[in-house]
Structure 1
Amino acid sequence: MNNTPSDAQFPAMSWIKSSYSAADNECVEVALARPLVGVRDSKAMQGPELALTANAFAAFLDGVKDSGLDWTV
């Protein structure tokens, strides 16, 4: 099974970045293209992208929240 996103799955205009992102683009961006959620590094927009199912993305977010790290820095 190939989970590599294509341009059709994650069009350029569909990527969004958190309002908590630093001014110098130190953040991840997400794109919603059901049934997948795309994740990429905002500093390397032409680089690799992850394609996650909604359940996998929710588990990722839960892991970040439960990590105890201060993500607002």
Structure 2
Amino acid sequence: MTVPTLPERYLTPADVAELLGVPVETLYQWRRKRTGPRGFRVGRHLRYDPSDVRAWVGSLMEGAA
């Protein structure tokens, strides 16, 4: 059985916004509408797993094809 490893670093909303080229507020709007990449809270801080962001972008690309 393979144990999944944690990513080098979880992404902040600013990191994801920069990667996607959108304002941070857009990420928060997507989160409220449950349409953006899956995020999680660490205390009061929002973080994103890089593999979840990749999967979300991939699903958008599949829908566009």
Pairwise same-fold verdict (TM > 0.5): no
In proportion to residue count, which structure has more helix?
2
In proportion to residue count, which structure has more strand?
1
Band the TM-score falls in, shorter-chain normalisation = 0.3 to 0.5
TM-score, normalization by structure 2: 0.33
Q: Which has the higher contact order (CA 8 A, sep 6+)?
A: 2
